[in-house]
Amino acid sequence: MDAKNAIARILEEKKEIRQIYWVACGGSLIDLYSAHYMMNAESAKVESGWYTGREFLTAPPKKLGTASLVIACSHSGETPETVEAAKFAKQAGAAVITMTHAAKSASDDPEFISFVYPWGDNVPVSNTPAGITLELAAELLSAQENFPKYGELLKGISQMDQIIAGAVKKVNGGLTEEFAEKYGEEPFFYVLGSGPAFSQTYGFAICSLMEMQWQNCAYIHSAEYFHGPFECTDKNVFYFLQKSAGRSRVMDQRAEDFLRNHTDKLIVIDALDLGLGAIDKSVVDYFNPILFYAMNCEFREALAKKHNHPTEMRRYMGIEKY
Amino acid sequence: MDAKNAIARILEEKKEIRQIYWVACGGSLIDLYSAHYMMNAESAKVESGWYTGREFLTAPPKKLGTASLVIACSHSGETPETVEAAKFAKQAGAAVITMTHAAKSASDDPEFISFVYPWGDNVPVSNTPAGITLELAAELLSAQENFPKYGELLKGISQMDQIIAGAVKKVNGGLTEEFAEKYGEEPFFYVLGSGPAFSQTYGFAICSLMEMQWQNCAYIHSAEYFHGPFECTDKNVFYFLQKSAGRSRVMDQRAEDFLRNHTDKLIVIDALDLGLGAIDKSVVDYFNPILFYAMNCEFREALAKKHNHPTEMRRYMGIEKY
């Protein structure tokens, strides 16, 4: 299935979509955030909601119904909350698109419009959940209302592979090593970011660090930082800042300016230094999380080497019953 | 101003509200979350968005306009992002309600419908931002569509003062002391919660602990905990769980069950043990954050005594320029 055809098929049946709900858990939920953010910022017609699977089930949106589109992503295809949410949405009359890496899994069921995506190194962004969801959002916007940024958005997706390749080289030219060597023994630290990229601030914390490195940390929104969390800042507390390109940059810049004067332990990764300026200004915001996800993978790999703790090592997930 | 009259006045002018946006920063933003959550779960008509002030300005919702109601809360009345957002919304044609503790501040301007709320001990919940916003949401729901829980919701607000008084006594019968004495020297810990109360999970972390106690910590959603963060759990890592009454309780229960077997350092505060079961089941969800906010105040006060660090002490906020 491709995004254009999926949306066309849905609109042929539904005529109109008024709500779009993005539903998943953990890392998969993170991947859906940028498209959700884009819908809120760009659509005059469609309401967008972003839900962790269980919460979509315990307190579903009242409007969920025949004018709704639910996009549910589960990497394994079997995440109970996500599969249950997709079925629940279908029963409520919504159109349901599922995304999964696992063909023939519960998510890849004929009752849904399913995308089975490849995984691993060298998979183009256009084939990843983050790319597919941006494209789905763009197709829906374009089909139902005026979306003048459509061409720029699709072009942006096609540019990302080259940008990421360059950025990977660049951060591995010293920054990932600095992170692992200088800060690899920190018992705890803060990760900051904002805008669409706040999803990957959260993602770096909960997936790359907590899950894959058993590394205690906290994620803080760069703007919210000044309304409480900054009181923890001290010369001795390490901060990792994801500095976005685009409209949310002002929030990250403010945090950086403060951090430069209040801690001796700081790493800033700057989307503009990493090549994101090549994307058209009108849509660049939505690509920050895709770039930062790729960077998160490099930083966690450096930490994994330093800790001698492979990123695939787990003690509970998929091992214990819970 | 009272909620019923405010909504009546807005609907007289606007005829119909289709979007409601809750805008503030830090602690004030936290107070608006439950009403936002309720709108999403209860309204078949109105879309609800919840924004930190600066992000509302950098990436405003495309639909912001004459059918929108913006509710902007600033305790000091002068929070630049919030005041700017309120003015921006007004210029976009939206109805704007402001809430502030400071009469004659920039937020308490005649161009807005302003609520000036009292502050301090013994202020009834109905006069706090958390209570006012639930009432505003209930009045809007009731005026524009069928909202059968209206009576239960208003009754719930009136019940909270007594419930909180009992809960304060109860947690001070050993639990706040255990928190301060046993865990007061932890360099870092995790706070968990879910549903509407996730706002006060965040609030306990960023306001009570980071801001008021310079205490490093992280806030984790109880359902998301199982999709990454739980890999950090160890006998030696302290967790503080806010266990809600109502529909989100299943998520907190699951986290509690896991934590009981995987750490020796755990405090659970249970909304049902603390008296929230007195609220009607149909609306109890929305009162968890109000209860937990009052509990956060007790726990932080115990920590303040232990640390000899008054909760009003700041090193940056209101002291430095940033």
Calculate the CA dihedral of residues B294, B255, A71, A297 and round it to 10 degrees: 100
The domain spans of chain A are: 3-147, 162-307
For residue B121, name the pLDDT band (cuts at 50, 70, 90).
confident
| Three-state DSSP class for residue A269 | strand
Question: Chain A neighbours among B 51-90 (CB < 8 Å)?
Answer: 52-55, 58-63, 81
Backbone phi and psi for residue A146, each to the nearest 5 degrees, phi listed first: -80, 120
Q: How far is B182 from chain A (nearest CA, A)?
A: 20
- Collapsing DSSP states into helix, strand and coil, what is residue B137? helix
pLDDT in tens, A18-65: 999 999 999 999 999 999 999 999 999 999 999 999 999 999 999 999
Q: Do A228 and B206 touch (CB under 8 A)?
A: yes
> Does residue B77 register a pLDDT over 90?
yes
Residue length, chain A? 322
Q: Per the CB < 8 Å rule, is A229 touching B216?
A: no
Count Cα neighbours of B171 within 13 Å in the Cβ-side half-sphere: 29
User: Per-residue confidence at B49, pLDDT binned at 50, 70, 90?
Assistant: very high
Whether B27 sits inside 8 A of A221 (CB atoms) is no
User: Does this chain's domain B3-147 share its CATH topology with B172-307?
Assistant: yes
Query: Is B274 in the A-facing interface, judged by CB distances under 8 Å?
Result: no
The beta strand positions in chain A, using DSSP E, are 19-24, 47-52, 68-73, 95-100, 113-116, 189-193, 217-221, 239-243, 266-270
Of A195, A215, A231, nearest to B210 by CB-CB distance is A231
In the numeric block, the tokens 């989100």 are attached to: B248
Distance from A107 to chain B by nearest Cα, in Å?
Answer: 17
Could you tell me what percent of chain B has a pLDDT over 90? 98
Give the global pTM.
Answer: 0.98
Structure tokens at B159: 């019940």
DSSP for residue B282: T
Tell me what pLDDT residue A53 has: 98
CA A11/CA A126 separation, integer angstroms:
22
Q: How many whole angstroms separate alpha carbon A168 and alpha carbon A269? A: 12
Q: What is the distance of C-alpha A140 from the center of its chain?
A: 19
In CATH terms, the fold of domain A162-307 is Rossmann fold (3.40.50)
Give the contacts of B86 (CB within 8 A, at least 6 positions apart).
Answer: B23, B70, B72, B96, B98, B107, B112
Cα of B287 to nearest chain A Cα, Å? 14
Q: Judge: A41–B52 Cβ closer than 8 Å, yes or no.
A: no
Judged by CB atoms closer than 8 Å, whether chains meet at B194 and A247 is answered as no
Quick one: angle between helices A129-144 and A288-307, nearest 10?
170
> Average pLDDT for consecutive 10-residue bins of chain A (322 residues)?
95 98 98 98 98 98 98 98 98 98 98 96 95 98 97 98 98 98 97 98 98 98 98 98 98 98 98 98 98 98 98 97 94
Whether residues A258 and B322 touch (CB distance < 8 A) is answered with: yes
CA–CA min distance B24, chain A (Å): 10
* Tens digit of each residue's pLDDT (9 = 90 or more) over B179-232: 999 999 999 999 999 999 999 999 999 999 999 999 999 999 999 999 999 999
Q: Is A230 on the interface with B (CB under 8 A)?
A: yes
In chain B, residues with a C-beta closer than 8 Å to the C-beta of A49 are: 40
For residue B138, pLDDT over 90 is answered with: yes
Contacting residues of B for A234, CB less than 8 Å apart: 214
List pLDDT tens digits, range B243-284: 999 999 999 999 999 999 999 999 999 999 999 999 999 999
Q: Which CATH architecture best describes the domain A3-147?
A: 3-Layer(aba) Sandwich (3.40)
In contact, A74 and A100? CB cutoff 8 Å: yes
A289 vs B: CB within 8 A: no
What's the confidence (pLDDT) of residue B245? Answer: 98
pLDDT (0 to 100) of residue A1: 78
The gap from C-alpha B99 to its chain's centroid, in whole angstroms, comes to 14
Cβ contact, residue pair B231, A314, below 8 Å: yes
**Is domain B172-307 given the CATH code 3.30.70.1230 in the classification?**
no
ipTM field: 0.98
| Chain B stretch 178-207, residues whose beta carbon is closer than 8 A to a beta carbon of chain A | 187-188, 194-195, 205-207
* Amino acid A150: pLDDT: 98
Bridge partners, residue A22, by sequence = A50, A71
Tracing tokens 């209040």 back to the chain, one arrives at: A262
At A121 the pLDDT is 85
